[in-house]
Structure 1
Amino acid sequence: MAGEIPGVDVIKQSVVGQPAHHLVDAGTDAGLVVIGRRADLGWAGPSRIGHIAHAVLHRCPAPVAVVPHG
């Protein structure tokens, strides 16, 4: 993925520990933090996010994009 969009640096990193904590820390130096969530296939109610996305949205200093997948 890195290098596919001119002028955009993409950093992929594997870490051990609490995901929300690492994502919030990464947001300190990021222009955008992108996280995924499961698509609610077959769910008739409103879209929901998980606890990790919820924590990152509330604590991250950078803008956050939550992208459904699946």
Structure 2
Amino acid sequence: MSNQKKYKNVKIIDAPAGSGKTFSIRSQINQYLIKNNKSQVLCITFTNRAMKELKKNIISNRVYISRVFK
């Protein structure tokens, strides 16, 4: 079960492993880019795996994908 929260222009997706977070994020980013052709997106994940998956499937110079560093 996914929990999505939106704060102004920030969206937080919180869900357990294997629930489709990466797929959902990728779809939402691509849809956003199509609708907002001059906007940029910052996507921050908690794992290297999610970051790599998103980077290989979202090819745009308007998207910056990183992970949380402690």
Question: How far did 1:61 drift?
Answer: 5.0
Contact 2:43–2:64 at 8 Å: present in 1 too? yes
Superposition map of 1:30-69 within 5 A:
30=33, 31-37=40-46, 50-60=48-58, 63-69=63-69
Q: Which amino acid counterpart does residue 12 of structure 1 have in structure 2?
A: I
Mark the CA change 1:11 to 1:68 in structure 2 (over 3 Å): closer, same or farther.
Answer: closer
More strand by share: 2
Greater relative contact order, per chain length (Cα 8 Å cut-off, separation 6+): 1
How many corresponding residue pairs?
A: 53
State the superposition RMSD in angstroms: 2.7
Q: Which amino acid counterpart does residue 44 of structure 2 have in structure 1?
A: I
State how far apart, in whole Å, the 2-side matches of 1:59 and 1:34 are.
13
Same amino acid, percent of matched pairs? 4
The answer for unaligned runs of 5 or more in structure 2 is 1-6, 34-39
When structure 1 is superposed on structure 2, of 52-61 and 26-35 the one drifting more is 26-35
Mark the CA change 1:24 to 1:33 in structure 2 (over 3 Å): closer, same or farther.
Answer: farther
More helix by share: 2
The answer for unaligned runs of 5 or more in structure 1 is 4-8, 39-49
Q: Which amino acid counterpart does residue 51 of structure 2 have in structure 1?
A: A
